[in-house]
A = this chain, B = another copy of it.
Amino acid sequence: MTTIDFWYEFASTYSYPAAMQIERRARIEGVTLRWRPFLLGPIFSSHGWNDSPFNLYPAKGRYMWRDLERICAKESLPLKLPPLRFPQNGLKAARIALVLAKNGRIGDFSRRVYAASFAEQKDISEDETLAGILRTLDLDPAVVVAAANTPENKAKLKAQTDEAIARGIFGAPSFTIGEELFWGGDRLDDAIAWAKR
């Protein structure tokens, strides 16, 4: 079965609707899904950006929030604007997600982090927000967070971000099928069609 790699960043607005539907879509379409959290910060820094392009370029930012609103309305997804802050720091969430990739809970966890961020105006960089999410998944926050903070796991997230850059990824969400790259939630259908070729 062909595999789609789903590259996402917890601070990324357009990753939210993509994350909420991709597992369901992959199952229906018979495509294997790999959740690949990574960090956009190093990529943006390499462009000379010290902030999200949606903040640096206000017209682009205003458009994005309206566009996200339309997308969420279309997909019946809750969205609470303005968000608590933007962009949020998704580092801790990404490290935890990597740990949960091993026991198959990464999808559940990732969806709840996105809901906290974009539907519940919570701060996803706060330990208590993340611990609360882990508890709703019947996971022990102390155990998971300890595993997230090992040097090995931190290095793994760095390596995953390096791999994203090496694959030509410059934004989120992105989808890869082998060497083929698709960027943007609006390319999910194309990515799935490519995977099924």
Contact = CB atoms under 8 A, between A and B. Distances in A.
Query: How many of these chains are in the complex?
Result: 2
A168 B70 contact: no
Given A57-B170, A190-B70, A181 B63 contact: yes
Contacts of A51: none
Interface residues of A, number: 21
Contacts of A128: none
Interface in A141-197: 165, 168-171, 181-184, 186-187, 190
A47 interface: yes
Interface centre among A67, A169, A184 (most CB of B within 10 A): A67
7 tightest A-B CB contacts, nearest first: A59-B170, A186-B186, A59-B168, A60-B170, A47-B57, A63-B183, A62-B168
Interface of A: 47, 57, 59-60, 62-63, 66-67, 70, 165, 168-171, 181-184, 186-187, 190
6 contacts: A59-B169, A60-B170, A63-B170, A63-B183, A70-B190, A184-B186
